[in-house]
Amino acid sequence: MRLRFYNARILSLKDGFDISEGEIVVEDDRIVYLGQEKDREGEAFDRQIDCKKNLLMPGFKNAHTHSGMSVLRSLADDLPLSEWLNTRIFPIEAKMTEEDIYTMSKLSVLEYLTSGITACFDMYLTPGSIAASMDDAGFRCVQVGAVNNFSQSPALVEKMYTELNRPGSLQSYIMGCHAEYTTSLELLKELSGLVHKYKAPFFLHLAETKAEVEGCIERYGKGPLKVADEIGLFDFGGGIYHGIYLDEDDFGIMKKRGLYVVTNPASNLKLSSGICPVDEYMKRDIPVAIGTDGPASNNCLDMFREMFLVAGLTKFRTMDAAAADANEILKMATVNGARCMGLDECDVLDTGKKADMIMLDLNMPNMQPLNNISKNIVYSGSKINVKMTMINGKILYENGEFFIDETPEEIYDKVESIKKRIVNG
């Protein structure tokens, strides 16, 4: 496919936040031209799209989620984290099959596309069926290992790591585990062996609650980040999800190892876990990415809401309205997320990069007047502004229509059947 997007505003994020006017040409899965409009008379295109001065930019990267949990949306609300997990989430998850998770993951893909999300960093129970679901939908997904004392294993992590990391695939895999508090030290050491065997980065939930950190100190005499670091899990980089409760030594380890932190503000607020000290990470040049967490704890897979919350909560935490500049938050949601996930070909718009981009409708009341477009995206932007979501050179969502392997109605019907069996049954 050869596509031309002309009469566009372009926020490439390659060299800051300046917006240019021009065109982008996509051939197959790559951007082959980005710049001023040219006379294209006589050139062959499968389609030429007049952007009508709307904005083309890199897609958002949801750097932490659990796509297959969509069946649990609004089933376990208004509970603290421990009760939420143990009395509501785990019992229902025990009934879920690989096929259920396939369908639930695809439901989440529909929501990602409406939010301008072009890739997700997913952690859930059945990586094989998740990869199949994402592949069938044409969605880019990086999975991370979810080993704990109750499910998955280091052997499965190695299997997925070798099978899913194929050149040219939309699917990839990074080593990880659920969390220190759900994973024995013996298992963590086995995973460290794999990290060193493949010289691979490692990710896990970490320092999400005070109780988690206090429990780890009781077990080992130190916090979870130090435990993970001392057994070599971060020797080749990686990062942590949440990262709310760290001390000064932890920040030093994060900086030394080149780790990312993925903040999940809506989920952490809803579960009353705490506020991530994004300002402290920024002060130390520790890269921050943004995730929604899963549709059971959030319950919305919406990067516009997450960006606004990162801004608002950081300003409130520091009592400084100048903290967490909106442009830096936009970078967290796009460029940093891509690099955190190992998607260096999808971080910015540029010639030779993957054609993962979105078009935002600027001709909507919430985006007018155009005083500062990039800051408008963070402070007043909404899913209603997403006109198009393209992944790997294919338009999967445009003007309210989806172009994946199943219709929304087919997916909704399957979801309803699953809900009746595992929730109501």
- Which of helix, strand or coil describes residue 225? helix
How far is residue 315's CA from residue 328's CA, in Å, rounded to a whole number? 13
- In 3D space, the residue among 219, 272, 215, 273 whose CA is nearest the CA of residue 242 turns out to be 273
CATH for the stretch 60-344: 3.20.20.140
Q: Establish how many alpha carbons lie within 13 A of residue 82's alpha carbon, considering only the half-sphere containing its beta carbon.
A: 6
Instruction: Specify the pLDDT at position 82.
Output: 79
Least confident of 47-51, 79-83, 193-197: 79-83
pLDDT of 84 over the 90 cut: no
* The domain defined by 2-58+348-402 carries CATH number 2.30.40.10: yes
- Where are the domain boundaries for CATH 2.30.40.10 in the chain? 2-58+348-402
pLDDT of 76 over the 90 cut: no
- Where are the domain boundaries for CATH 3.20.20.140 in the chain? 60-344
Instruction: Specify the pLDDT at position 86.
Output: 85
Mean pLDDT in residue range 48-56: 98
Instruction: Specify the pLDDT at position 371.
Output: 97
Q: Which residues pair with 47 in a beta bridge?
A: 3
pLDDT of 204 over the 80 cut: yes
Instruction: Specify the pLDDT at position 261.
Output: 99
Sole residue written with tokens 């994004």: 278
Per residue in 161-192, pLDDT tens? 999 999 999 999 999 999 999 999 999 999 99
How far is residue 145's CA from residue 174's CA, in Å, rounded to a whole number? 7
Instruction: Specify the pLDDT at position 408.
Output: 98
How far is residue 22's CA from residue 380's CA, in Å, rounded to a whole number? 25
Per residue in 245-282, pLDDT tens? 999 999 999 999 999 999 999 999 999 999 999 999 99
Per residue in 309-333, pLDDT tens? 999 999 999 999 999 999 999 999 9
pLDDT > 90 in the chain, percent = 95
How far is residue 142's CA from residue 5's CA, in Å, rounded to a whole number? 28
User: Beta 260-263 vs 30-35: how paired, if at all?
Assistant: unpaired
How far is residue 225's CA from residue 247's CA, in Å, rounded to a whole number? 10
